[in-house]
Structure formats: structure tokens, C-alpha cells
A and B are shown apart, each in its own frame.
Chain A
């Protein structure tokens, strides 16, 4: 399947380049925009893996809500290129070294632990990735975490509101 491979390679390239962009550019706003692009490309990967629902959710939640929030906060704090603090070269080197080590060790782990047997797959079912099977699972097998997550959200909302309004409450 040539075209699949081609798409995969393209998407991977975009993902990786955008990720590098997030990390390396100086201006925080640019960094945030690069992250949005990364989200989109990952959504593309999801589609390629026939996880359509998750792809859409990714775009709506991450790119739509989370990134917007982040960008708003950045604009609120008025961050731009002048405010960006600089790090010493030594620290950057150390950081690069350590994450390089991480990469190398993880790759090594895969190489050592992977066998051809463990990489064999199973052909997918007809409904894979659709909303219906997802909802089915969600409300039967994973109903308890689902309910708990509602409490989690409640806590997060209350926390965020409280923290945001602290001055007014103390007055």
C-alpha cells in the first residue's frame, strides 16, 4: 500500500518537525501555534489508524479547548520574545544529553525485547473505531471510571474557579 506509507511518512515528518518547533522556538506564542499543528498531525495519524472518533475528539478537546486556553493565558500574561528567560549553554547541553539518553535506552529496550512473534497483529473488525462500540464499552466495562471522571471534572472546575477568584473571596 504505497499511498498509505507515503501518507504515514508525510504525517510523521510533519509531527516531528512541529514538535521540534514547540521545543526550540523562542517566542512562546509561536511555540503554542506549533503545538496546534502537532495536534492536527497526530489527529491525522489517528485517522490513519481508523480511530475516527478519537481523532475528532483530539481536535476538539486538545487543539480546540486546551490550546486556546493556553494561548489566552499567554496573551493575558503578555509573554513575548523579550520576556523569555535564557538558559546557560551548560544546562541546555545537559538536557539534550539526558533526553538523548532516554531515546537511546528506550530504543534499545524495544530492540532487545521485541520478537517477530510479539509484532504480529490481528485483523480488525468491521466496526473498529466507530462511536458505537466505544460507547458500548464505555457504559458497560468502564462505567465506574466514567462516573469518577465526572467527579474529577467537578473538582477541577471548582478548583479552577476558586483559584481564579481568590482575591474576591478573601475580600
Chain B
């Protein structure tokens, strides 16, 4: 039974993928939607059971079969079921199921319905492999799989070539990160001789390593995380990925795939703790990403793009937490972020649905009375992300700020600045969308309607989670029964157990001060933005000059990349074609054809239809046989 459950967790979405992929066209939409959703719900139930089991007996490893064996290199196809992986599994399957339910309503009109669910299931399958793998190879397998599904799903409406380009961009940028990850894996094997997580942690704690190689390993692993979790410089694919359907953005680019980088670091926490340079690097990159993305998000007018940059920014925050060694805090923020970001994306999808496809927030307004459920849930999500007191985001952000302050007050100030930016752009988006007067066309006004229950139900569930999610990791000063539930849970994995315990000073009153400052910032900025928008009934929109224009154009980063990387590659490709392909390879391939032709032509002369010559060849053949016997 114990072995069967993880297998079921993984196989269930895969079977869903197979059924929807092969028979999808022939089934009715509701049937294929049901199969896809049921597959993930099955995984969720099994994940819950496994979670409870791990709670009672601790983590364990299940080997399915010997996978790769080359001389001394040995890799098993095995699952590591422990606290971290079950936590991730719950997030993936839980939010995944909600998004599947949502998709049944959202993708109802689409003819690629079954294909969508097939890809979604394949994604869930790959993500499971990623988090459940017991060694780096399994992780990489899932890593690549989610990259592939991201490509398939971003470019889902493939008839539009722009979407295809966005998908390709996402895949290529991911690939760059993957190269880093691969090099990291190679170095790990070279240094440790094994790729199994638990074994590596064991080797680390027994002290058999040298710091220099650990620095390089962690650096390369982080490069992989940079690609997957959209940090500077490999983040530009995520906003472009909004070309895909909204459920895809919610699932992949908010809740799961982008968190793979964070998972990777937490899984190898003891290794990262030993590499100080890398952790400093992570901190800087995370902080820079957080602020930079928030600045861009401030000037965006597409509702999904704002949320995309918000995701990049929040991921930056998670990496800031990792950079100061607060691994459980990062996981906490990952969890709460999964809740409220998925909620925000699904809510945005609901808004877009209500506005008959309009995505520009400048053309919305005054929707709060028209689509009540969406509005309320969206409000909950917004409050959660800005860190409004008692919502889940408040607790997770606050913990990050607290841990950062203990590392360095300057970094704390910068992080606070990033949080402030978050408040501003999120509230700007909220007010422009739901308050004020309606700025859309008459056609859209007529069609404004609330979404069906298949879409609103997940919104409500996620709103509740965003509200109550904070309970998972209440600060220390709460009674022990409820405080730090999640942190204690995650700390039980081997990698975390091997962490050298950092001296934990009890900053009793400091915590309250920090918390107070954060709350104050929230309220002040919130009030400012509210009054700004409410007074002017904000009309003009397009950023026209200076910094605002730069921000709206994403600080021209894409253009920079295009110029430096894309153009040179295209030029190289052209050169190769002109020289190598035309002059060398083509004639070489043609030469085979020419030789055959030559032989054909020359042998053809023997077939002249002349019986005399045929008879001559007869006799010559007889002579040949005689000579054979002779010699």
C-alpha cells in the first residue's frame, strides 16, 4: 500500500494525459474535462494520505526500478516522500484541481478543449516527478517536462504566430537555465559520486567536501533556478507567457513551475548554507529582480502583465529569503503566494471573461457592483498580496522582512521598498479595474456577467485559503501549538536537519516594531493610492514621458536581448547556411546521387535490345563459369 500510493499520484495524471490526448477529440467536452479533473483530484487524495502517513512515520524513499546503470554510475527511478515533497504535492494537486475545475468553465468555448486538459495533466505529472524525485536525475526529468508543458501551453492557441514566439522564448530561456543546472549536476556527481539527495546530505554533514567546488555547484544550480523561476536576467519570458490561457498562467506561472527553483534550493539547503558567496549572490539577484519587476509592473496596463511582473517580483522576494538562509520562510511565502497569486490570476480570467476578452485595465472600471463574487475574491487576493494585516501574505512577508532585518538593515529597507511598490501597483490595478466609472464600450457593458459556478467556486476556495493561510506559520510569540507549524514541518527533512544551527537571538520587542512598521506602510500607501484614484477618477492612462515611458516599455530589456543575442545568432545561422550548407554538405549529398546516375547510365548501354549482343553475353557467362571450375 505504501508503495502504491506515490505511484498512483504520479500515474493518475499521466493516464489522464493519455486518455485525453488520444481519445480527446472523440469525447464530449464535459467527459474529457471530468477525466482531467478527476485525475488530479485522485492525486490530491493520495497526497493527503501520504501527508498523514509521513506525519506519523516520517520520510521514506520508494524505489520503483533501477533506471540508469553505466559502470559505476547508478541512478534509481525512486521517489522520496518526506515532509517537503508532500507539502509541494499538496500544493500542486490542490491548486491544480481547483484550476482544472476553473478551466472547465473558462475553456468551454475552445475547440482544443481536450488537448488543453491533456497538456495540463502532463504538466501535473512532470511537476510531481520533479518534487517527488529522490535524486537529481528524476528532478531534471520533471524539470524538463514542465518546461516542455510550459511551451505547449503558452503556445496553446498556436494559430497566432506571436503566441508561438512567446512559447519559444520561454522554452529557450528555460533551456539556458537548464544548462546551468546540468553543469551543477555533473559537478555534484564528480564531487560526491552520487546524485541521491539524502546521500548527498549525508556526505556533506560528514565533512567530505571542499568549499570551492561547493560554491561552483550551488552557483550553477542557482542558474538553473534563475531560468525556471524567472530571476534577472532570465525573466523576460514570464510576461510574454501571458499569451497562454489564463488557467495556464495561474497554474504554471504562479503556483507551480516557477516555484521549482525555490524547491531546488530548499531541497539542498545544507549545501547552500555552506556556500556563502552563492547565497549572497542569490540575495542580490533576488532583491534586484524584486525591485526591478515591481517598477515595470507599476506602468503596465494589461491586467495579466501586471500580475506577471508581480509574480517575478514575489519570486524575487522568495529568493531574498533564501539568500539570508531563511529556507522555511521562503517555503511559507511560496505557499501563500501560490494561494493568492492563483486566486488573482483566476480572478483576472474571470474579469476578462466578463469583459468579453478585454484585458486593458484602462478600459475597465466600476466593475465592483457588476461582478460581485469575482470582485470580492479579487479584493481578498489583493489584500493578501499587499500584506494587509491578518491575511496570509501579511504573515509570510512579515517573516521575510524580519529575517532580512536580522541579516542586514539596509537590505531590509530595500525589501520594504519593494513591498511598498507591490502595494502601489496592486492597488492601482485594483482601483482601475473595479472602482470609478466604466470606460469600456457599450457592447462590453451589455455582456457584463458573472462567471459560471465552475469558475467562481475555485475563486472562493482560494480566497478562503488566502485569508486563512497565515495560520500555517504564525510568528513565534503565538502559543506553541499554532506557531510555526509549517516551518517545523519543513525542518524535518534531512537537508534541513543537516543545517548548522545559526544562533537565534530572541529579538522580542524588535519583532513587534518591525511588524508595526510594515502595517503602517501598508495603510499609509494604501490610503494615498486610494485617495489618488478616487479623487481624480483617473482618466489619462498611457505613460507618455520619462521614467514612466521607460517603465511601460519594460526598460527596453527585451530589445537589448534581441540586439545582443538574437541578432547574432541569426547572423551566424545565415553564415552557416551560405558557406557550410551550400558549399560543403549539399554537394557531398548530391555526389551519391550522381554516382548512382553514372552507374545507371553506363550499365544501360548493355541493354540495347540487340539479340546478338545478348547471346554474346551468354557465351561470355559460360566462359566465366568454366573458368570458375578451372581455377
Contact = CB atoms under 8 A, between A and B. Distances in A.
A–B contact with Cβ pairs below 8 Å: the answer is yes
Interface of A: 91, 94-95, 98-99, 101-102, 105-106, 108-109, 112-113
A98 B621 CA distance: 11
B619 to A, nearest CB: 5
B619 A102 contact: yes
B627 interface: yes
A98 B620 contact: yes
B626 A105 contact: yes
B567 to A, nearest CB: 71
A102 B616 contact: no
> Which residue among B620, B622, B627, B630 has the maximum number of chain A CB atoms within 10 Å of its CB?
B630
Interface of B: 612, 616, 619-620, 622-623, 626-627, 629-630
A94 B630 contact: no
B626 A94 contact: no
Contacts of B612: 91
Interface of A is mostly: helix
Contacts of B622: 102
B616 A98 contact: yes
25 contacts: A91-B612, A94-B616, A95-B616, A98-B616, A98-B619, A98-B620, A98-B623, A99-B619, A101-B623, A102-B619, A102-B622, A102-B623, A102-B626, A105-B623, A105-B626, A105-B627, A105-B630, A106-B626, A108-B630, A109-B626, A109-B629, A109-B630, A112-B630, A113-B629, A113-B630
5 smallest CB-CB distances across A and B, nearest first, come from A109-B630, A105-B626, A98-B619, A102-B623, A105-B623
Contacts of B629: 109, 113
Nearest to A94: B616
Given A102-B623, A106-B626, 10 more contacts: A91-B612, A98-B619, A99-B619, A102-B626, A105-B626, A105-B627, A105-B630, A108-B630, A109-B629, A113-B630
Contacts of B630: 105, 108-109, 112-113
A95 B622 CA distance: 14
A113 B626 CA distance: 11
A105 B629 CA distance: 10
A68 to B, nearest CB: 26
A157 B196 CA distance: 87
A108 B629 CA distance: 10
Contacts of B626: 102, 105-106, 109
Nearest to B615: A95
A90 B273 CA distance: 97
Nearest to A106: B626
Contacts of A94: 616
Contacts of A106: 626
A10 to B, nearest CB: 30
Nearest to A108: B630
A12 B627 CA distance: 27
Contacts of B627: 105
Contacts of B623: 98, 101-102, 105
A99 B619 CA distance: 8
Contacts of A98: 616, 619-620, 623
A19 B458 CA distance: 107
A6 B630 CA distance: 32
B102 to A, nearest CB: 81
Contacts of A112: 630
A126 B629 CA distance: 36
A94 B622 CA distance: 16
Nearest to B631: A112
A99 to B, nearest CB: 7
Nearest to A109: B630
B121 to A, nearest CB: 70
A94 B626 CA distance: 19
A95 B612 CA distance: 10
A93 B626 CA distance: 22
Nearest to B624: A105
Nearest to B630: A109
Nearest to B620: A98
A109 B626 CA distance: 7
A158 to B, nearest CB: 26
A97 to B, nearest CB: 10
A106 B630 CA distance: 8
> Which residue among A99, A102, A113 has the maximum number of chain B CB atoms within 10 Å of its CB?
A102
B629 to A, nearest CB: 6
A109 B630 CA distance: 5
Contacts of A109: 626, 629-630
A95 B627 CA distance: 19
A108 B616 CA distance: 21
Nearest to B617: A98
Nearest to A102: B623
Contacts of B616: 94-95, 98
B281 to A, nearest CB: 87
A101 B619 CA distance: 10
A75 to B, nearest CB: 24
A113 B630 CA distance: 7
> Which residue among B612, B619, B622, B626 has the maximum number of chain A CB atoms within 10 Å of its CB?
B626
A94 B619 CA distance: 12
Contacts of A101: 623
B611 to A, nearest CB: 12
A90 to B, nearest CB: 12
A108 B627 CA distance: 9
B631 to A, nearest CB: 9
A116 B612 CA distance: 40
A98 B629 CA distance: 18
A101 B627 CA distance: 11
A105 B628 CA distance: 10
A112 B623 CA distance: 16
A109 B627 CA distance: 7
A91 B620 CA distance: 15
A113 B616 CA distance: 26
A98 B612 CA distance: 13
Contacts of A102: 619, 622-623, 626
A98 B622 CA distance: 11
B472 to A, nearest CB: 96
A112 B631 CA distance: 9
A117 B253 CA distance: 96
Contacts of A99: 619
B614 to A, nearest CB: 13
Contacts of A113: 629-630
A19 B620 CA distance: 22
Nearest to A110: B630
Contacts of A105: 623, 626-627, 630
A112 B628 CA distance: 12
A119 B68 CA distance: 71
A102 B160 CA distance: 77
Nearest to B619: A98
Contacts of B619: 98-99, 102
A74 to B, nearest CB: 19
A106 B619 CA distance: 12
A109 B622 CA distance: 13
Nearest to B612: A91
A166 to B, nearest CB: 22
A108 B628 CA distance: 12
